[in-house]
Structure 1
């Protein structure tokens, strides 16, 4: 006898699905199911049910012994080790760069002042300059060309004020 693993031409009999429902219900009608229930509840069972459950719950009023998972002395050791590690990490990883005004770029300071965020007048600015700062300025080493001075004056001075003066 030869066994075939794959049957490619499997077909259902004619009218199989059309009569399936009728055959199913006729099979159910033939079966003999029991007419009575298999389990019975005793009389007044549910009246006493609540009392019996509560009675079983309150068996003993003794406090139960609690065994902690972690001992408190080990918790103290772990906290001390964590604090030491944190302090050591912060000490050894300090940056040597000073993050103060020196680290700012001069261009950022200039734009801050030019945008009008620093509201100082001439008198307030001169109060920050000492006599030593003025004495340290050396105008002889600064070389200004006549063209550069003329361009600066034309850009920054109002010509109408100069021409209208008497």
Structure 2
């Protein structure tokens, strides 16, 4: 970039900035006389704010405006009927379901479940909580376990022969 010297460029007349504000106001007044009027601002009529409340009350009490409803009452029942029909369709069961009976249980699946699952119930707890009121002696004797099963049970759960015999107070 070339160096800038004090002699290059524009020159101002002497005393240009000394009387600049006076010349600017004079020039603005000569060019736009309407601008001077707009600078004055607005004027309110005499006693405008003193009588404002009275004039406002007179305007408000002059005429009654009819109230118009946005949604007429005739159209309110249409969505209500549609909602009732929809609720009725959704609430009505499609087909009656049959109740399950004891005969519906698959015995093989139940046996497999009971044999594979580990329960935290000892045979003693099971015997204490088993209701014997409805059992007949024939039911128990018909399904008596084999001797091998009884021996395995005694070996697993009985530590001494004394536990097999009842005490006199029992």
Larger Rg: 2
Q: TM-score range by the shorter chain?
A: 0.3 to 0.5
